[in-house]
Amino acid sequence: MVSRVIPVDPFDLVIFGATGDLARRKILPALFRRFCAGQMEGGSRVIGAARSDLDRAAFHEVVRSAIAEFVTDGRNDPATTEAFLETVDYVTLDARGDTGWDALAARIDPDRVRAFYFSVGPSLFGDLALRLHRHGMAAGKARIVVEKPFGRDLATAQALNATLAQHFREDQIYRIDHYLGKETVQNLMAIRFGNMLFEPLWNSQYVDHIQFTVAETVGVAGREEYYDRAGALRDMVQNHMMQLLCLIAMEPPAKFEPSAVRDEKLKVIRALDPVKPQDIVRGQYLPDDDKPGYLEHVGDPTSTTESFVALRAHVSNWRWAGTPFYLRTGKRLKARTSEIAVVFKDAPHSIFGAEAGRHRNILTIVLQPNEGIELGVTIKEPGPGGMRLIDVPLDMSFAEALGPESGMVADAYERLIMDVVRGNQTLFMRGDEVEAAWAWTDPIIAGWEERGEAPLPYDSGSSGPVEALALMHKDGRRWREIRK
């Protein structure tokens, strides 16, 4: 089954930071795939911009190599790549200077949708917004796409929101979180709100707890400087995991449209209790045989930045009172996996007796590596000999359900870029959401600093510090195995 392609009006998309890592790995390949899908017909254009003094042909080389390296589903044949390059142009400019900006303005069509993707360091976001405004490109159908990190605390996020608001309306600002563009994350909403089966059970009466795991096997190599200033809480929890928590916990919005969805997510963040020090564990990975540990990676033996965090959160509202939300994320763990597990309560009474064991339903939403949704149900073990129960998965792996064409399903960046072009902000974070998320994480970080708390060491290739396991054990629960 091939995904349906909805036509869009011709647009201009400017990538600031077009020679950088994110542009090469994600944005340019995503645009190429949308080109292949027929969504750039009618003269849509991609304009790269950065300080590097490249002409159009030299930038085409950058794009060619990005497509060759990162489009691996067979669509990167030379003829298609050359046809895509016909749509691609380049302008040399400096976010902090005024040269190059008039050349950019001359190249874009003032009557079309024009999207400006800020794929540069966050310290340049304000400069770009100011210059777009100054050179007459901020009005009308202009939209800006702002990458993470959006601030490093509440004060910096507020300042950035205020700066952007001087030049752009909120409905022009797309704060991107690529987790929200994942097929499974949207399926989570389809499952919750498109079926009668789950929503009646989606509350503390039936849900024992919910676990969120985002585990990586890589360390911080290549991102040492940024990561050591951020840490796992800022890098993963405040944004991606918070967004996932919101989608799981929010009330049904009246419509699947931007204000309604974002209003409901905001209510969840505001209902989160402050996290108590005993409800959070931080860790730092140790060296193993051939790989350096966190401290060696960042080159600072005194660093107290966490590469792992696990915490217990409570959403204090009518629906979720008494149901804990456990979140954990870390680097150099035993497998690369992201999943949400909704663990339902035990049946109130076992008619099969104690020997049948304890069984519970678990709805698992897997975001990576293989996106899919699995529902664990209890059945009778086949064969004679009485009533023995086993848990089996009702599996909906997208690769299987969608057949051999599933590789053609749009990735998160493709979907989100097309949402920007269409003017649909549902899957983007609103300014107040981002600020509310920082308002919740700031006191956690302040507490660590006040108490002078250092992260606990953990072995590379493990599930994190043992204290993180204890976080659940003391509640009589346990983390799911981190598995591939």
Q: Does 238 bind ligand NAP (CB under 6 A)?
A: no
For 178, the token pair is: 């690529």
Closest to 185 in 3D by CA, of 72, 115, 261: 261
| Angle (CA) 168 146 135, round 5° | 45
What does each C-alpha distance from 239 to 139, 149, 176, 177, 232 come to in angstroms?
29, 9, 10, 7, 11
Of 128 and 333, which has the nearer Cβ to ligand NAP?
128
Nearest distance, CB of residue 271 and ligand NAP, angstroms: 28
Among 22, 105, 335, 402, binds ligand NAP (CB under 6 A): 22
Nearest distance, CB of residue 385 and ligand NAP, angstroms: 54
Closest to 408 in 3D by CA, of 71, 88, 85, 77: 71
Q: Does 50 bind ligand NAP (CB under 6 A)?
A: yes
**Residues 318/267, Cβ–Cβ less than 8 Å:** no
DSSP reduced 3-state for 127: helix
Of 21 and 170, which has the nearer Cβ to ligand NAP?
21
Adjacency order of strands within the sheet including 280-285 = 389-397, 372-380, 362-368, 337-344, 207-215, 324-330, 308-314, 280-285, 456-458
Q: Does 299 bind ligand NAP (CB under 6 A)?
A: no
- Dist. CA 124–CA 106, nearest whole Å: 22
Q: Name the one range near ligand NAP by CB under 6 A: 147-155, 398-406, 442-450, 473-481.
A: 147-155
Among 42, 43, 121, 386, binds ligand NAP (CB under 6 A): 121
Comparing every residue's Cβ against ligand NAP, the nearest one is 20
- Dist. CA 401–CA 78, nearest whole Å: 31
Sorted by sequence, the CB contacts under 8 Å of residue 19 that are 6+ apart come out as: 48, 50, 52, 54, 59, 62
Catalytic site residue 60? no
Q: Name the one range near ligand NAP by CB under 6 A: 44-52, 334-342, 405-413, 423-431.
A: 44-52
* Chain-centre distance for alpha carbon 420: 16
Residues in contact with ligand NAP, counted by CB under 6 A, come to a total of 22
Among 10, 122, 292, 457, binds ligand NAP (CB under 6 A): 122
Element (H, E) at 342: strand 337-344
Nearest distance, CB of residue 74 and ligand NAP, angstroms: 24
Q: Does 287 bind ligand NAP (CB under 6 A)?
A: no
Element (H, E) at 466: helix 466-473
160 is in an annotated binding site: no
Q: What is the dihedral of CA 460, 463, 465, 467, to 10 degrees?
A: -170
Which position among 209, 240, 297, 314 bears the catalytic label?
A: 240
Nearest distance, CB of residue 76 and ligand NAP, angstroms: 20
DSSP reduced 3-state for 53: coil
Q: Does 96 bind ligand NAP (CB under 6 A)?
A: yes
Q: Does 52 bind ligand NAP (CB under 6 A)?
A: yes
313 is in an annotated binding site: no
Among 95, 185, 420, 471, binds ligand NAP (CB under 6 A): 95
- Dist. CA 79–CA 331, nearest whole Å: 40
Q: Does 20 bind ligand NAP (CB under 6 A)?
A: yes
Report 425-454 residues binding ligand NAP (CB under 6 A).
none
Sign (positive or negative) of CA dihedral 339, 211, 215, 334? negative
359: phi then psi, degrees, rounded to nearest 5: -135, 140
**Residues 251/271, Cβ–Cβ less than 8 Å:** no
61 is in an annotated binding site: no
Q: Name the one range near ligand NAP by CB under 6 A: 21-29, 205-213, 331-339, 404-412.
A: 21-29
Of 342 and 434, which has the nearer Cβ to ligand NAP?
434
178 is in an annotated binding site: yes
Q: Name the one range near ligand NAP by CB under 6 A: 35-43, 92-100, 245-253, 308-316.
A: 92-100
Q: Does 216 bind ligand NAP (CB under 6 A)?
A: no
14: phi then psi, degrees, rounded to nearest 5: -105, 130
Among 9, 21, 273, 296, binds ligand NAP (CB under 6 A): 21
Q: Does 39 bind ligand NAP (CB under 6 A)?
A: no
- Dist. CA 128–CA 174, nearest whole Å: 14
Q: Does 148 bind ligand NAP (CB under 6 A)?
A: yes
Q: Does 147 bind ligand NAP (CB under 6 A)?
A: yes
Kindly list the residues in this chain that would bind ligand NAP in the complex (CB under 6 A).
16-23, 50-52, 94-96, 119-122, 124, 147-149
Binding residues: 17-24, 51, 148, 178, 182, 216, 235, 331
- Binding site for NADP(+), residues? 17-24, 51, 148
Q: Which residues are catalytic?
A: 240
Instruction: Give binding residues for substrate as ranges.
Output: 178, 182, 216, 235, 331
